[in-house]
Structure 1
Amino acid sequence: MSAYAIAHLQEAAPHREIAEYIERITDTFAPYGGRFLVHGAQHEVKEGSWPGHVVVIGFPSLARARAWWGSAAYQEIAPLRSRHIEGDIILVPGVAEGYDATTTARAIRETLPPR
């Protein structure tokens, strides 16, 4: 099942280390099957507040996403970003092939008290 690394990064002033991080990050994906799905795109806020930038990286599995995050190659360059850009980063599994949201709704309804 696919998995995703999702980052919500705050605005930051341009810096050489940020440029170096961006230049080097793609090479860290290769052993784990990762690839950018969203990077550098302007997002459109429909509800709430979402300042900054969104990055989404796809992986073939959560295990591969975790392995990439913990890899020596990524950990070596991570400070180039984190010293200059604050943000939140999560790893999240995707849904299985054929996922049906009505199954989730049914499970929620089963926990509700009778009317």
Structure 2
Amino acid sequence: MIHLVSCRWDNRTSVVIPNEEVFYLVGFLHSAIGPHSIKRTLNLNNQIIEFSNKASIGVRQYLPNYTTEPEWKAHYGARWDAFQQRKNTYDPLAILAPGQRIFQKTPASLPLSS
């Protein structure tokens, strides 16, 4: 567990941090090797997230598996607009991270064929 202070955090990144002065970074590293399967590990992670949500603990996943834009908007919360602006500025063709399904290529962003 790492104790962090938000005023020392670089807000120019797209990492989502709590709206608290002091917060903690906790990492759970599970092994899916041996008697523990990947399905069991994912189930355990989901249980941790569900518990945190029910207890109103401001938890965020580092590598979430969201598949819809509303899920991503909820993940970024108040930082969604800033993230969206950075994406439009630095990746206007929606080339980066297509598997996250945050932004789709639009006809206007596709290069013209000759």
The answer to whether the superposition gives a TM-score over 0.5 is no
With the shorter chain as reference, the TM-score category is under 0.3
Q: Greater share of strand residues, 1 or 2?
A: 1
Q: Report the TM-score when normalising by structure 1.
A: 0.27
Q: Report the TM-score when normalising by structure 2.
A: 0.28
Q: Per chain length, whose mean CA-contact separation is higher, i.e. which structure has more relative contact order (CA < 8 Å, sep 6+)? A: 1
